[in-house]
């Protein structure tokens, strides 16, 4: 639940009431009426208006900033993996694969006999 006076961002307009999506506002009241579909009353300074909104229409600004920071970090890591040709890091970022499982596979390949190793190389060459 959001707190009174908290800075919020409008992310949707469920009831199509011409909310300024993307603008910020402040939570000024809870709507306690059980017969009403709205949860909060917000004040949007740019529109110079108060709006009744549902909980799904707004998001705390702090939460949106955290999500945006994580997304930017993820994209920067992908760019780094591509620029340095780090295939393991790229697959880890894109697929969520564990880097440790790939290392165990390489260790198990070292324990192969020479005949099994040649067989594995021929199979990969055929594919």
| pLDDT for position 49 | 93
pTM passes above 0.75: no
Question: In whole angstroms, what is the distance from residue 41 CA to residue 104 CA?
Answer: 56
How large is the average pLDDT for residues 3-31?
A: 92
Say how many Å lie between the first and final Cα of the chain, rounded: 55
| pLDDT for position 69 | 94
Residue 43 near residue 29, CB atoms below 8 Å? no
| pLDDT for position 109 | 53
Residue 118 pLDDT grade (very low, low, confident, very high; cuts 50, 70, 90): confident
Residue 98 pLDDT grade (very low, low, confident, very high; cuts 50, 70, 90): low
Residue 6 pLDDT grade (very low, low, confident, very high; cuts 50, 70, 90): very high
Q: Where are the domains of the chain?
A: 7-59, 63-126
Residue 106 pLDDT grade (very low, low, confident, very high; cuts 50, 70, 90): low
- The residue among 121, 97, 98, 99 whose CA lies nearest residue 109 is 121
The CATH architecture annotation of domain 7-59 reads Roll (2.30)
Instruction: Report pLDDT digits (tens) over 79-92.
Output: 998 889 888 988 89
Query: Rounded to 10 degrees, what is the CA torsion of 13, 18, 24, 27?
Result: -70
**Residue 68 is encoded by which pair of tokens?**
């945006």
Q: At what angle do helices 61-83 and 87-95 cross, to 10 degrees?
A: 150
Pairing mode, if any, of strands 58-60 and 49-53? unpaired
Instruction: Report pLDDT digits (tens) over 42-72.
Output: 999 999 999 999 999 999 999 999 999 999 9
């Amino acid at each position: 639940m959001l707190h009174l006076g908290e800075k919020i961002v409008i992310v949707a307009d469920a009831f199509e009431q011409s909310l300024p999506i993307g603008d910020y506002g402040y939570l000024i009241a809870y709507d306690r009426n059980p017969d009403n579909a709205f949860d909060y009353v917000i004040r949007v300074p740019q529109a110079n208006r108060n709006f009744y909104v549902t909980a799904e229409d707004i998001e705390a600004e702090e939460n949106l900033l955290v999500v945006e920071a994580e997304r930017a970090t993820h994209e920067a890591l992908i760019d780094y993996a591509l620029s340095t040709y780090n295939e393991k890091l790229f697959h880890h970022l894109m697929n969520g694969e564990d880097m440790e499982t790939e290392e165990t596979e390489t260790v198990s390949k070292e324990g192969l006999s020479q005949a099994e190793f040649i067989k594995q190389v021929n199979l990969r060459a055929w594919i």
